[in-house]
């Protein structure tokens, strides 16, 4: 594609459109600029809300694959890629996933997290190679992320993943995008022209972050990683998280501190196991067995323990 052809293609995207009404923002007082930008950001949740049915369908598909042992893989370039890597990196401490269960791929590799890697986003073949390096299979789910919906790396990742039988999701911020067309589940959150023309780390980036929060969080809820709205699979890897673990057990059980400490000690600090010990009145080994039999779902384990109480 020539530079002229690319320019014409970009000119058709709403995320690249120019806002004449904002042409003089650099002449405004700082507080006025902040108010204008905040107003623009306030339109993003409504744009996400309009796509909730598509988001929910994608989540159900992802959860089904992950329930069979598959992985969730994000693939994107630039800001979109960084958001995917961020969401993936937060799953282990929040939901006690293994690092390989939720993976973020960014065009240009890890160096692209902090430095621009010229031309990386234009390479479909690299996306295919990155997925092949993971040994992608039919139980996996791949989410291509691109504000424009045309980024070759993201589109190439989705096309390659679909050919491999994986579930595919295309998340973009323009209607009628090649990315959504390539995916089994197209999610097009149309956020409109940016506050700064073409700076899609702004409203488009915010929309992508909101959707990724939903994809990972609700998938983990479906997989039994929570008990109500409590993070019972939290990994207590530092003092703050150890304190949070004790609070979660207290909120779930209402038990006194000494019983909470004893339960956490007996279960090696596993919050979900400690809650089961306290609520079902079983020992740590029985709690572990019940949770294994229930595929990690605490509510199901509690129901299974009820007849023996």
Q: Is 90 a catalytic residue?
A: yes
DSSP annotation of 282 reads -
Catalytic residue chosen out of the listed positions 121, 159, 194, 270: 121
User: What is the DSSP secondary-structure string of 102-152?
Assistant: EEEEETT-GGGGTS--TTGGG-HHHHHHHHHHTT--TT-EEEEEESSS--H
To the nearest 10°, the Cα dihedral for 145, 147, 152, 155? 40
Residue 184: active-site member: no
Catalytic residue among 90, 184, 259, 261: 90
Measured distance CA(306)–CA(232) in Å, rounded:
20
Side by side, which strands form the sheet with 185-188? 102-106, 72-76, 141-146, 167-172, 185-188
- The full 3-state SS of 185-215, as one line of letters, equals EEEECCCCCCCCCCCCCCHHHHHHHHHHHHH
Residue 127 has, within 13 A of its CA and on its CB side, a CA count of 29
Closest CA to 158 of 90, 118, 105, 198: 105
Token pair in block for residue 105: 């791929």
Residues with a known catalytic role: 90, 121
């Amino acid at each position: 594609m020539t530079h002229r052809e690319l320019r014409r293609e970009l000119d058709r995207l709403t995320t690249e459109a120019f806002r004449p009404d904002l042409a003089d923002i650099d002449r405004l007082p700082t507080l006025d600029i902040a108010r204008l930008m905040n107003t623009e950001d306030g339109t993003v949740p409504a744009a996400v809300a309009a796509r909730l049915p598509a988001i929910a369908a994608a989540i159900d598909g992802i959860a089904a694959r992950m329930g069979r042992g598959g992985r969730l893989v994000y693939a994107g370039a630039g800001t979109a890629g960084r958001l995917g890597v961020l969401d993936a990196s937060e799953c282990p401490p929040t939901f006690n996933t293994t690092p390989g269960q939720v993976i973020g791929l960014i065009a240009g590799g890890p160096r692209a997290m902090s430095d621009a890697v010229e031309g990386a986003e234009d390479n479909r073949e690299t996306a295919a190679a990155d997925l092949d390096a993971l040994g992608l299979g039919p139980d996996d789910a791949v989410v291509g992320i691109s504000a424009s919906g045309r980024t070759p790396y993201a589109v190439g990742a989705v096309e390659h993943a679909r050919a491999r039988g994986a579930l595919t999701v295309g998340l973009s911020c323009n209607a009628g995008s090649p990315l959504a067309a390539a995916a089994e589940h197209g999610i097009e959150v149309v956020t409109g022209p940016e506050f700064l023309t073409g700076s899609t780390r702004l409203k488009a980036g915010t929309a992508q972050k909101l959707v990724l929060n939903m994809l990972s969080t609700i998938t983990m809820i479906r997989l039994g990683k929570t008990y109500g709205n409590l993070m019972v699979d939290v990994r207590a890897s530092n003092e703050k998280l150890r304190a949070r673990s004790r609070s979660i057990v207290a909120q779930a059980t209402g038990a006194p501190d000494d019983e909470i400490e004893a339960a956490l000690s007996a279960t090696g600090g596993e919050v979900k196991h400690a809650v089961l010990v306290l609520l079902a009145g079983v020992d740590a080994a029985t709690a572990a067995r019940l949770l294994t039999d229930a595929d990690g779902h605490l509510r199901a384990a509690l129901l299974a323990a009820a007849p023996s109480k």
